[in-house]
Structure 1
Amino acid sequence: MDTYCSRDQSDAARQQERHYYLLSELQALVKDLPSSFQQRLSYTTLSDLAQALIDGTVYEIVQGLLDIQHLTEKNLYNQRQKLHSEHRALKQDLVRKHKQALQTCKSHNLAVMKTNQRAENEALDQRVKDEQRMMDEKIVAEMDQKVLDQQNTLEKAGVPGFYITINPQEVMMQMNLLELVLKLQQKETVSGSLP
């Protein structure tokens, strides 16, 4: 019984020591943030964040979310590049078709053909513009959804400052909190002090 009590006290003391260490590190890292964000990060918020980081689970969650985000970004980038390549091929095909048509065109039809080709070029340009806009809107919507998913996951994990919001200032605050977590994780990984 006494051994159990002393082990609990020892664990509590280690956790308290780790909490103070994490809080101190977070307070040092906050100084690198813009002053407007420094003012919004209270001692209580930093203390709660340090408490959430004690066992290392939040680091794993953040790393998992970061990995998912990078895969999503890479996938969306590849989709956009594929669309860009398809558009380039369509334009090259149209140029080739127009050159061939001009070579076989009778001089009395030349003005009509050039007008038709100009209309085809404009139609293709409009199609490319519309498809790129739709792709960009899809990318923005998908990344916005990733942000909401990340906010939800971190809120459920009990990370202070995280909740679902689209308010740009609150999202920026959450990004700064994530930056603090990542910097602290990196520092602990380098020093080998992760739990």
Structure 2
Amino acid sequence: MMTLNSHSLQHFTPSDTQMSLYRAYLDLWIKVGPNKIRVSHLCHKAPAARSTFYIYYETIDDLKDELENYILALLVDKNQKAFEKEITSSKDIVFVASTLAFVKEHEKVFQAFVLSEPNLMFIEKWKSACQRHFQLLLKNDNKEFLDFQLEVLSAAVVSAITYFLKHPDSQIDEQTINQLVFKLLD
């Protein structure tokens, strides 16, 4: 199982077959729901031989876990630079724009795992990735309060981006989200 950091990303590049299985999995997640996905349907849609599926994965859950980790490792890597400088105003928050661009680039993943049929494990991993980044910015000697701050902040970011996805024609824009995040950081 891959952990969520940019170092593991350097060592993992899915094969073309794995990418086909990822796409087929996401399509099936949206069309039939996660509980009805079977290896035979997945292999037919990919297309890939059933034996090929089992070369890479023991179960469908293994594929889902790898896909979640792969996408979030890409997001963590993309946003790494956004957390290297101090945030003194809402204009300094560049990770929102970076994250929104990433979400648009990987729209099918977020459509499946966040909008269509929410994948709570994916959302928790996403929040955890946000928390690791925000921990670099927040300084608090009270660990319990710091954990609380990180949970609220990461939930707010994920919720704001989810709102943005659900309402693409909304008047809410990146700057509005940045202002909200800045208030929470302050």
Q: TM-score, normalised by structure 1?
A: 0.29
Larger Rg: 1 or 2? 1
Greater relative CO, 1 or 2 (CA 8 Å, sep 6+): 1
